[in-house]
Amino acid sequence: MNQLHDGNSRYYDGSDGGYHPLFDGMRSSSKGEGREQNGYESGKKDAASIIANLARDPNNNIVESIKIVTHSMGGAYGKGFVRALKEYIKTLPIEKQKQILISLVADFDPFQAGDITADPNIKTLQFKHKNNANIFGMGWLANEDEKGLGTDNVKTNTGTSTDHSIFTFFNDISSLQEGSYKWDGKQWVLQ
């Protein structure tokens, strides 16, 4: 939050309670598409509240951008959440739409990343580990690339540990940076 100068946060469990070894394949969250749908439903439910609570200047203009940071099973969830936010934003008056910007999606070790697609109009960064060597730390768990990302947007972990834990990515937080955008009359376009 300090890196992005944003102290306003919400937390969601994109895994629907985490991995369950027994009967996990029967839960919608066991697959990327199920978690994406769960994120979409949460985004639809909370979009109005999120937009209403963005920081504003004295003239009531929105001055805060939306940033989505995910880990593991939350990667797919975040994609659905973003889709719901964008749908809600399109229902608002055009002058309000111009003020609302989703400026960054940062996916740390997204599980089943090969099943999810980055939004082409939102700066998306994926952080993953270099190899599959760390068996018990589950560093092998999330080494696929998301669809729609160029090689410059996929970052290999710079820490010394290759565990799946979000804590092994602390060295990468310093590279988080919002994208540059331009309003084209209808929507924000990533530059």
Q: Could you report the per-residue pLDDT of 168-187, keeping only the tens digit for each?
A: 777 777 778 889 999 999 99
- Distance, CA of 176 to CA of 3 (rounded, Å): 7
Residue 84: what pLDDT?
Answer: 98
pLDDT, averaged across the chain: 85
Whole-structure pTM value: 0.85
Poorest-confidence range of 22-36, 84-98, 130-144, 177-191?
Answer: 130-144
Residue range 92-131, pLDDT digits in tens: 999 999 999 999 999 988 988 888 999 999 999 998 876 5
Q: What is the spatial distance between Cα 190 and Cα 145, in angstroms, rounded to a whole number?
A: 20
Rounded-to-integer distance, Cα 162 and Cα 160, Å: 7
